[in-house]
Amino acid sequence: MDDLIAELEAQEARLVFDRFDNDDAWALGCRLVDVARERDLAITIDVRRGGQQLFHAARPGTAPDNDRWIERKIRVVERLHASSYLVGRRLAAKGRTFDADYGVDPADYATHGGAFPIRVRNVGVVGVVTVSGLPQADDHALVVEVLERFLADVS
């Protein structure tokens, strides 16, 4: 578990934008849709900046419940400025739960993988990119994979 947590922390330290605007949100969302199409993934994708939803797409095979999962994961990132997966793994390593530690309704928060902070260098967290529809580790891995490629292309 410690190795996974260290890897997730390293991803967050590494995947930092120089800038992030509405056009970047659209481009990032489109990249995720392209990968989902190529792999025929039934996922829902959401990209936000400053609390505003700038991109949202639902692939065939998804349902309104995916939107609910996205909202719950986003709340975790917005509250703690860390990926929903990292928060969940840290808590699991201590045998704890988000609702008990933070006094929140578990219907409103999900520490499952798939929501990742959009962090801008020298600014901090400005948004969230989220995927829902796969097992949590796969949701997280897909977001990280596309972020890595996206950042390599824009730098």
Reported as a single tens digit per residue, the pLDDT across 25-51 is 999 999 999 999 999 999 999 999 999
pLDDT(141) > 80 = yes
Across the range 106-128, mean pLDDT stands at 97
Instruction: Please check whether residue 92 is in contact with residue 130, taking contact to mean a CB–CB distance below 8 angstroms.
Output: no
The pLDDT confidence band at residue 152, using thresholds 50, 70 and 90, is: very high
pLDDT for the residue numbered 67: 98
In words, the CATH class of domain 2-150 is alpha beta
HEC readout, 107-154: CCCCCCCCEEEEEECCCEEEEEEEEECCCHHHHHHHHHHHHHHHHHHH
pLDDT (tens digit per residue) in 47-105: 999 999 999 999 999 999 999 999 999 999 999 999 999 999 999 999 999 999 999 99
pLDDT, position 61: 98
For residue 112, what pLDDT is reported? 97
The amino acid present at 21, given as its one-letter code, is D
Q: How far apart are CA 71 and CA 143, in angstroms?
A: 16
Contact assessment for residue 105 and residue 131, using Cβ atoms and an 8 Å cutoff: no
State the pLDDT at residue 154.
87
pLDDT of residue 1: 74
Q: What is the pLDDT of residue 155?
A: 73
Whether the full predicted model's pTM is greater than 0.85, yes or no, is yes
